[in-house]
Amino acid sequence: MINNKITFKPDFKNHYVIDFNYKKSNKTTKLMYQLNELANNNEIPITVRITKTEIHLIYDEQRVNNYHFNKTEYFKELKTIDKTDDIERKNLYKK
């Protein structure tokens, strides 16, 4: 996505490189770099919707901004807290 190209992979055999232009601003460029890095590390899925005139990138905005709820980490921490300590368990949920 960084060099105005998207590799579209409809299945594991077919790969298509699509050249595109987007309105370049600091915010958009930063977002493109961030999405590219997350996608290359398999940390976030990006859905591409293509029309005749537009390319739409669909992604989890909370994950990009680190606001997502990490369920596995929550349950790991929950196991370390005593089951009778309700106050501490509630505080963990509020984090």
Q: What is the pLDDT of residues 30-70, one digit of tens each?
A: 888 888 888 888 888 888 888 888 888 899 888 887 776 66
Q: Which residue has the higher pLDDT, 20 or 92?
A: 20
Which tokens go with 57? 């990138």
Angle in degrees, 0-180, between the axes of helices 71-80 and 86-94, rounded to the nearest 10: 160
Q: How far is Cα 89 from Cα 81, in angstroms, rounded to an integer?
A: 7
pLDDT surpassing 70 at residue 88: yes
Determine what percent of the chain is predicted with pLDDT higher than 90.
Answer: 3
**CA-CA-CA-CA dihedral for 19, 27, 64, 22, to nearest 10:** -20
pTM summary value: 0.60
Alpha carbon of residue 52 to chain centroid: 25
pLDDT tier for residue 93 given thresholds of 50, 70 and 90: low
**CA-CA-CA-CA dihedral for 49, 50, 51, 57, to nearest 10:** 50
- Note the pLDDT of residue 13: 92
pLDDT surpassing 70 at residue 77: yes
